[in-house]
Amino acid sequence: MENTIFSILPPIIAIVMVLLTRRVLLSLGTGIVAAAVILTWFAPLDALQELVTSFTIIFWDEGFNAYNVFIILFLLLLGIITAFVSLSGGSHAFAEWASTRIKSRRGAKVLTVVLGIVIFIDDYFNALAVGQVARPITDRYKVSRAKLAYFIDSTAAPVCVVSPVSSWGAAIIGIIATILAGQTFVEYSALEAFLWMAPMNFYVVASLAIVFFVAIRDVDFGEMKKHEVLAITEGQLFDPNKTIPGEMKEDFPTHSHGHVRDLLLPILLLIVGTVGAMIWTGYQNADQVFDIWLIFENTDVPASLLTGGVLGALTSIILYVMQMKKNETANVGWIGKGIWAGIKSMMGAVLILIFAWSLTSLIGLLETGAYLAGVVSEGNVPTAILPFLLFVLAGVMAFSTGTSWGSFGILLPIAGTIMIEADPSLLLPALSAVLAGAVFGDHCSPISDTTILSSTGAGSNHMDHVLTQIPYALTAAGIAAIGYIVIGFTGSLLISLGVVLAVLAVLFVVWSQRTTIIEKQQNI
């Protein structure tokens, strides 16, 4: 049943179940079983073997699977950093310090968005690092964890996908180079093509514009409004009855010995260690040629994250040990308790990630992405609407498979082949549409690893993040779709980008007319 309509059933089952039950592990598990059963033509023993294999290859795939294991270890290390930052009083001290400089909820939200854009090296790193820095500030000003997760998710992948100096940019430039190889009509390099494509990524343009507007003006609707009203009126930043990854359950001793450095120094060394390791591993893998584009194309992101995580965790523990002379609550016994508390706090996120990887593996064997790609590539459709169709298809594929990388990895070569034959003038818009759709689908998908990590970084319940973000993502996607229809028929970047900006301007005027509940209560 590979590469057939049946291949889309497992992701549909998992997604529908997770939206109906809001029980992520149960839903992912059901999708995994369905995928194994369909893959083996309903043979129980073979299906059981596929299930075992799908989990085994997460850790051992013809050898040690360093990529996945290092990501898991990084999550656990981040939990340990969070625990010791809390034990040392760093979170409280940083919130106190920030409150003297950040004077409002609006300032806390804008700071989070700016941090999300500035830390653009990698989306995994962005999601987790920004959450650690911003959470004490947004908590103080009663910004719901769901909104914090939306800010993180909407500035991580969207910035990475248009930044050439990022793990995403390097990979995409490499794919573009293979598409352009041997094409005599092409007068630009892969890097130049990537830079030209950035303003054509209308979903990124719309998504970043909307997230800035939402940070400045509280435009809340649907589930997000409920979370924000509870945060403001009752101080309930998240539902205490739901699983919150990264939330410390232990009652750590309180004291007044914490300093801002107890939070900032571990995070700073986490950043320095990660970026430094990315440059070093990229340099080594690029045969020691110091070319920044080549370095980021060949960098080892998981190993770099692990290096930064170890450095950050050790720093947080050392800073806690240094308090023992003057902090009567600090003792050696709390070191073990802090490490265990940090690990336990991340186990929910780790399990969700493992289940999502297992489902993605089985979906890959079912060739779900190839089937969806064939729907468009085999169809006889006007070339003018191909950018729009590719945007929709990439969105559906990323939503169904939970991977933006897998989606554009499959679709970029297909889109390139189609457009080179059909209309070379629309090649770059079509490739941009694929990237935009992949990020959009990834944003909405409850089985996406980046969505999982964004909720983890924010300390938000995973399904709360998914359901509150979807309306904003759909709004940005609707505006982007208009842009791809216009560029398909006009071939003009200026006209299509102008239309996108005009629609955004009208939307913001309409949103500005309504005064939200939160704006009334805060009088801002």
Rounded Cα–Cα distance for residues 294 and 274 (Å): 17
Rounded Cα–Cα distance for residues 435 and 161 (Å): 7
Token pair belonging to 137: 């500030």
CA angle 105, 342, 70 (to 5 degrees): 100
Helices (H) and strands (E) in the chain, counts: 24, 0
- DSSP characters over 319-371: HHHHTTTT-TT--THHHHHHHHHHHHHHHHHHHHHHHHHHHHHHHHHHTHHHH
pLDDT at 378: 60
What pTM was computed for the model? 0.76
pLDDT by residue (tens digit) across 407-454?
777 778 778 877 877 788 888 999 999 999 999 998 888 888 888 888
pLDDT beneath 50: ranges in the chain? 517-518, 524
Element (H or E) spanning 21, and its range?
Answer: helix 9-21
pLDDT by residue (tens digit) across 208-230?
999 999 999 878 888 899 999 99
